[in-house]
Amino acid sequence: MPPVPADPMVPRSCRVERARRETADTFTLALEAPPGDGGFAFAPGQFNMLWVFGVGEVPVSISGDPTEPGAVVHTVRMVGAVTRAMGQLARGDVVGVRGPFGSHWPVEAAAGNDVLIVAGGIGLAPLRAAVYQLLASRERYGKIALLYGARTPADILYRRELRRWRARSDLEVAVTVDRGMGGWRGNVGVVTAFIPRVSLDPSNTVAMVCGPEVMMRYAVREILRRGVAAHRIHLSMERNMQCAIGLCGHCQYGPTFVCREGPVFGYPRVEDLMALWEI
């Protein structure tokens, strides 16, 4: 395979291969690598800077399969001018891409362990790449459990994929919503309520958590109560990133710049800051 650009700051112009609506305000883009390019090598949990020409640039987690470097996939929620413009892109449109940036989920280091994944809302997007890599080498891991919570049934991401994952005998999947409506027959309640019910070996478990910070606080509390050591818990702190190099200061989290030192952190690294609700 040809080498990928050594410098993640070097931009690439990539065409939209596929655009798919996930929910009313969230969509997924699959981008093609430029001809002759080495593809998109990345580690689960990392992010790219996506640039809509004439509008602006935003950081977005990579939500695709790291074992398929020919295309790169991002799931985006429309929350500002750039992401709204991105939501109007169609097949063949061009997007600027820089990256990948940031730290990653400890998927390789978790080999030989049970793995607990807890996701809330769009927090499933950066964790989906970790699930892909875990399942690609399923024999290297013990029990794997994915717990996913959304606000309502209409906010659930990757519905077809979740159904396929739930059909597997080697993956435990629980999906819940905060408010059931529209004929929903599944679980209703916060996702953290499922942590005590998961079958796992606390002394041999690696946990990966991503979602709203309030959800992550309670998730960590429940995981610790299960007896999982703090250093075995990892969080993605995707807050207000803008420049990817720690220059603008928007993602400063105490003394830490999330875009440069994160977004994935071991829990002991951010434990004191997560105890401060006003940050």
Which two structure tokens, joined as six digits, stand for 262?
């994160």
What is the distance between the alpha carbons of residues 204 and 109, in angstroms, rounded to a whole number? 12
Identify the band that residue 279 occupies on the pLDDT scale cut at 50, 70 and 90.
Answer: low
Retrieve residue 110's tokens: 């978790």
Q: Give residue-wise pLDDT tens across range 20-78.
A: 999 999 999 999 988 777 778 899 999 999 999 999 999 999 999 998 877 899 999 99
Does the pLDDT value for residue 10 go beyond 90? no
pTM greater than 0.85 (yes/no) = yes
Cβ proximity of 251 and 239 under 8 Å: yes
How far is the CA of 220 from the CAs of 34, 81, 119, 204, in angstroms? 41, 33, 12, 16
Determine the CATH number of domain 114-236: 3.40.50.80
Domain ranges of the chain: 12-101, 114-236
In single-letter form, the type of residue at position 238 comes to E
Whether pLDDT at 278 is above 70 = no
φ/ψ of 232, rounded to 5, equals -95, 5
- Residue 180: the pLDDT is 87
Q: Point out the least confidently predicted range of 80-89, 234-243, 262-271.
A: 234-243
Reply yes or no on whether the pLDDT at 239 is more than 70. Answer: no
CB 16 within 8 A of CB 31: yes
Least confident of 35-39, 83-87, 220-224: 35-39
Pairing of strands 205-210, 114-120: parallel
Burial class from Cβ neighbours inside 10 Å (0-12, 13-18, 19+) for residue 1 reads exposed
Q: What is the mean pLDDT of residues 140-157?
A: 97
Domain at 12-101, CATH homologous superfamily: Translation factors (2.40.30.10)
In sequence order, the β-bridge partners of residue 187 are 176
pLDDT at 238: 76
Residue 192 pLDDT: 96
pLDDT digits (tens, 9 = 90+) for 105-143: 999 999 999 999 999 999 999 999 999 999 999 999 999
Average pLDDT, the chain: 90
Model confidence band, residue 253 (pLDDT cutoffs 50, 70, 90): confident
